[in-house]
Amino acid sequence: MTIKCLAIDDEPLALKQIGNYIKKTPFLELVDLLNSSFDALEYISSDQVDLLFVDINMPDLNGMDFVKSLKEKPYTIFTTAYSDYAIEGYKVDAVDYLLKPIGYYDFLRAVNKVKTLRDSKMNQAINIKTTADHLFVKSAYKLIRIELSEIKYIESMHEYIRIYLVNDKPVMTLVSMKSIEQQLPSDKFMRVHRSFIVNLSRIKVIERNRIVFDNSIYIPVGDQYKDAFQQFIEKNFLI
């Protein structure tokens, strides 16, 4: 499966070079070349993109702010003529940072990192299988059955997730939050923070925009999830 790439740069020659490198690399697929972050926002809202090549220094909306604005972030490789953005780039989970002029060797090294990460995430799918009322999770060389009704919440632990249960100890498995979110029924579970998914039927107390479990566990509701969570509250609670 190829990696779908979108390149964004307001410099035509730099954009063309990235496009040529993408076309030259067998496991990459060029979906478009754009010279504006605003055009990229519109494109991403309606089409699948796996990997972004983003120039940082662009007018109106720079590449760094563009990536920060994305709710679901594709893999990102920043490109720029200035070396002083590197640390900030890694703060937004960029896979790599390429300094112009970009040689094909450095380009290939960066996209191979993406390929390794993508292949690892695809392999994670075998670590969890979901049915209508339960899921099977691989954890510590064991296959564990978990009833969906027994899940309180799920916490992201970088490349792992930890599943907190009503009457048992937490279960940890190698799978991404995005992957488990896609497999859980959306009418029963909701992502309320980049690090938390909650079982909606287990919510009993909400305090100051936080979900309270067991009178001591406070799960924050992230800004980008507040609207959806508020709709759930209005539909299900007397307020």
Q: In the prediction, which pLDDT does 131 show?
A: 74
Q: In the prediction, which pLDDT does 91 show?
A: 57
| 41 plus 150 within the same structural domain | no
| 146 plus 96 within the same structural domain | no
Residues 209-230: tens digit of each pLDDT: 899 998 789 999 988 899 999 9
| 34 plus 103 within the same structural domain | yes
**CATH code of the domain containing 144:** 2.40.50.1020
- How many domains, the chain? 2
pTM for this predicted structure: 0.57
Q: By residue range, what is the domain housing residue 69?
A: 3-124
| 137 plus 222 within the same structural domain | yes
Residues 165-207: tens digit of each pLDDT: 998 899 988 888 888 888 899 999 999 998 999 999 999 899 8
- Higher-confidence residue of 121 and 162: namely 162
Cα distances (Å, whole numbers) of residue 118 to 61, 113, 221:
28, 9, 28
Confidence tier at 85 by pLDDT (50, 70, 90): low
Q: Which tokens sit at 173?
A: 């498995």
Domain-ending residue, one of 124, 146, 176: 124
